[in-house]
Amino acid sequence: MSDTLRLGIAGLGTVGVGVVRIIRQQAALLEARTGHKISISAVSARSKNKDRGITLSDYAWEEDPVALATRDDVDLFVELMGGEDGPAKDATEAALKAGKDVVTANKAMLAIHGQALAELAEAEGRAIRYEAAVAGGIPVIKTLMEGLAGNEIKRVMGVMNGSCNYILTRMENSGKTYQEIFAEADGLGYLEADPQLDVGGIDAAHKLAILSAIAFGARVDFDGIQLEGIERVSIEDIRAAADMGYKIKLLGVAQMSGRGLEQRMQPCLVPDTSPLGQLDGGTNMVVLEGDAVGQIVLRGAGAGEGPTASAVMADVCDIARGLRGPVFGQPATSLVAAKSALSKMPAPYYLRMTLVDKPGVLAKIATVLGEAGVSIYRMRQYEHDDSSAPVLIVTHKTTQTDIEAAIAAMDGTGVLAGAPVALRIEEV
Q: How far is CA 363 from CA 84, 101, 163, 352, 369, in A?
A: 51, 65, 41, 16, 10
- 201-231 per-residue burial string, b: 16 or more CB within 10 A, e: under 16: bbbbbbbbbbbbbbbbbbbbbbebbbbbbbe
The question of whether 364 is a catalytic residue gets the answer no
Rg (CA), the chain: 24
Residue 14 neighbours by CB distance under 10 Å: 15
Catalytic residue among 89, 100, 107, 207: 207
Residues with a catalytic annotation lie at 207
